[in-house]
Amino acid sequence: MDRRTLLKSSGLLVGLAALGSRAVAQTPATAAPAANDSPAVFIPSADTPLRLNFNENSLGMSPRAKQALAAVLPGQSCRYPDDAREALVATIARLNGLSDKQVILGNGSSELIHTAVLNAALTPNAQLVVADPTFNNAEVHAKAMGLKTVKIGLTRDHVLDIAGMRAAADAHPGPSTIYLCNPNNPTATITPAAVIDKWIASAPDRVTFIVDEAYHEYVTDPRYQSAIKWVKQGRKNVIVLRTCSKVFGLAGVRVGYAFAHPDTIAQYDAHISIDNINLAGAATARASLEDAAWIRHSLASTAQGRAIAVDAFKRLHLDYMPSQANFIMHRIKGSTTAYQAEMKKRHVLVGRLFDHTDGWNRLTIGTPEEMRAFVKVLDGMRRDGLV
């Protein structure tokens, strides 16, 4: 019996869970600054470049998360993180109306994507179906494991081609694992739930859906709905991925999680390290998930930063895709790699070239302060004839 199983069966998950609860309960509601605070000035330099390339949240972790971290590390860093992990699972389950057995943690959602691909690769005659372009983590793992991968281009509206992906699954006689990133990365566009649901509702058991909702919290389009409803209905072939890397500003801490049927969770659990979430990650993630004031502040900051960028694109007559995430795709002059290099000369780091997107740039939405700095650089490049 491994340590995780032992702890689950013996009821030892008390100490750190209680400590974490006290740390959160005794912390007053985060005083989130107003989104329209007086504009600050940020000047990119070689020592402090403007990092708008990896969809990170430069606000960082919330004050409440910092306090939770300070509360647990001094006395508990010598202990394994089992209690903290279980307390985090319980919090995630409660906040989402699920049982603990319907939740699994990952070292970022990337580990859970790896596990999903591994499960598919271990199944005879299986294939992976992905959009093109999309977040390529699943494709990378599939290639390493020798799993057949079918890539389906996006629609003219830059959303997932569900009809094309479904045709690829229907044409394959064996099992298919479908990776759906919604909102999609790198386009920041959403695929309406009605389109996805129609397929899931009629799909045979041999079709498994991995729905990556890394940017779930940012979505305001009413056509979007989380796929968690399928998990609540008892579907075993739907796995929903979430992350603490984006709205919560914990990309460096590496905490992801997934929702699925208990049987599917147990299957995944067999391939997951028992210590994939450390003490710091568990404490900060749990505090962040319960910090509603900070979540509102983070979302408001991104919304204001996006508006600053969109206003600039409109003024400069640069096309852009509608964004439902903390990044946005916009048109540029010339090649993406050349634009990236010119921005880097000005100490601004922007997104790389993705398949089928040359002439577009994926721009992370930073703080309003950062986006004002970006616009200033962008205006300078327009004056130089580079945009």
Number of H helices, E strands in the chain: 14, 11
Are 296 and 32 spatial neighbours (Cβ–Cβ below 8 Å)?
Answer: yes
Whether residues 214 and 335 fall in one domain: no
Average pLDDT, the chain: 91
Q: Which of 15-24, 31-40, 185-194 has the lowest mean pLDDT?
A: 15-24
Would you state the torsion angle of the CA atoms of residues 365, 366, 372, 376, taken in this order, to the nearest 10 degrees? -70
Are 195 and 166 spatial neighbours (Cβ–Cβ below 8 Å)?
Answer: no
The residue-averaged pLDDT of 249-275 equals 95
Residue ending a domain, among 243, 271, 289, is 289
**What pLDDT sits at residue 40?**
65
The residue-averaged pLDDT of 79-97 equals 97
**What pLDDT sits at residue 42?**
86
What is the C-alpha to C-alpha distance for residues 387 and 383, in angstroms, rounded to an integer?
A: 8
If one counts every other C-beta atom within 10 angstroms of the C-beta of residue 220, the result is 9
Tokens of 31: 């005083």
Q: Is the pLDDT of residue 38 over 90?
A: no
Q: Which residue has the higher pLDDT, 68 or 2?
A: 68
Residue ending a domain, among 274, 289, 304, is 289
Residue at 22 is within a domain: no
The DSSP letter of residue 277 is S
Task: Say how many CA atoms lie within 13 Å of 56 toward its Cβ.
Answer: 17
CATH code of the domain covering residue 196:
3.40.640.10
Cis peptide before 183 (omega within 30 of 0): yes
Domain with 328 in it? 293-383
**What pLDDT sits at residue 274?**
85
The residue-averaged pLDDT of 161-182 equals 98
Whether residues 172 and 274 fall in one domain: yes
Residue at 18 is within a domain: no
Q: How many domains does the chain have?
A: 2
Whether residues 209 and 320 fall in one domain: no
Q: Is the pLDDT of residue 46 over 80?
A: yes
**What pLDDT sits at residue 84?**
96
Give the pLDDT confidence of 218-235 residue by residue, as tens digits: 999 999 999 999 999 999
**What pLDDT sits at residue 211?**
98
Residues contacting 111, CB < 8 A, separation 6+: 256, 272, 276
Give the pLDDT confidence of 99-132 residue by residue, as tens digits: 999 999 999 999 999 999 999 999 999 999 999 9
Q: Is 136 helix (H, G, I), strand (E, B) or coil?
A: coil
**What pLDDT sits at residue 39?**
56
Residue at 34 is within a domain: no
If one counts every other C-beta atom within 10 angstroms of the C-beta of residue 300, the result is 16
Q: What percent of the chain has pLDDT over 90?
A: 88
What is the C-alpha to C-alpha distance for residues 216 and 59, in angstroms, rounded to an integer?
A: 18
Whether residues 298 and 227 fall in one domain: no
Q: Name the H helices within 193-291.
A: 193-202, 228-232, 262-269, 279-289
CATH code of the domain covering residue 308:
3.90.1150.10
Residue ending a domain, among 258, 289, 320, is 289
Q: Which of 13-27, 112-126, 191-205, 363-377 has the lowest mean pLDDT?
A: 13-27
